Chains A and B, each alone.
Chain A
């Protein structure tokens, strides 16, 4: 398992894709800019485990913070934000 690519405070952008199978990267956070909030550890990416039928190797995953206006536009509620856990393979 490689060392984590990101550290707390890093700005990241999530990938844009349309996977045919299971994913834990919901559509509403794809192609969005956020900030690494925390390092959560390592675990297999469920997308890969489901696609390959065997438990995958450990991949670093993070708590990532997004402003609501980044997700939903200028009319989103100000002062609201979201934290979601994302594996490194979801991040560009």
Chain B
């Protein structure tokens, strides 16, 4: 598939990858031990965070928000105006956990239209709406994606198999500061009679990053 080059471009030789992983694991363990010893962190907090990001968060959350925006105009309006409030109400911002002093997540939904195609990147690192999409794909974190998406977005999108028609604006959002972005894809033609639950299954993670669009149903 067209994301293949990104998936492999950033992977070093296997031997190097194992050595890197061992070194990173040891370093992370040492950092955790130091922070626990200094009294600024409890290991239980780390466990809870890991479990939350590994098990509880994922793109099905984003897909549910997209499907609801397609079928519920009041929700769509609120998503335009106060996406942060929505994720707070849904409990996606970890507020109910032990981490009350972590910064509030700030979410902004950006809507694809016939005139505008939105796509998300973080050039500085790999900031991403983890709380509605789960962990980032490897290609999103690659130097190649992070550099090229803000320089030649149409070309990069074509490498993901996405052709943006001439005359349509491509709007790239660099997640360099507080806000994390969720792309709301256009609803596929032919899905107008589907239920909200059926629509959820159509929404892919990549369409919510903006590197792909959802195909029309025949």
Contacts and interface: CB of A to CB of B under 8 A. Distances in A.
B93 interface: no
A91 to B, nearest CB: 13
B171 A81 contact: yes
Interface string B159-190: 00000001111111110111100000000000
B85 interface: no
Contacts, number: 65
A18 to B, nearest CB: 16
A85 interface: yes
A11 interface: no
A83 B171 CA distance: 7
Contact of A80 (B124, B153, B173, B176): B153
Given A24-B124, A26-B123, A26-B124, A80 B154 contact: yes
Contacts of B151: 68, 72, 76
Contacts of A80: 153-154, 169-172
A40 B173 CA distance: 14
Nearest to A82: B172
B152 interface: yes
B155 interface: yes
Interface residues of A, number: 23
B168 A79 contact: yes
B150 interface: yes
Which size bracket describes the interface of B in this complex?
20 to 34
Interface majority SS (helix, strand, loop, mixed), chain A: strand
Contacts of A71: 150
Contact of B177 (A24, A76, A81, A82): A24
Interface in A26-72: 26, 28, 40-41, 43, 46, 61, 63, 68, 71-72
A76 B194 CA distance: 40
A61 B178 contact: yes
B169 A84 contact: no
A45 to B, nearest CB: 9
Given A40-B179, A61-B178, A83 B124 contact: no
A39 B59 CA distance: 28
B169 A79 contact: yes
Interface of A: 24, 26, 28, 40-41, 43, 46, 61, 63, 68, 71-72, 76-77, 79-87
7 contacts: A46-B177, A80-B170, A80-B172, A81-B169, A83-B173, A83-B174, A85-B176
Given A43-B178, A77-B153, 10 more contacts: A46-B177, A61-B178, A63-B179, A81-B169, A81-B170, A81-B171, A83-B172, A85-B176, A86-B177, A87-B177
The 8 closest A-B pairs by CB, nearest first: A85-B177, A84-B174, A80-B170, A82-B172, A77-B154, A24-B176, A83-B173, A80-B153
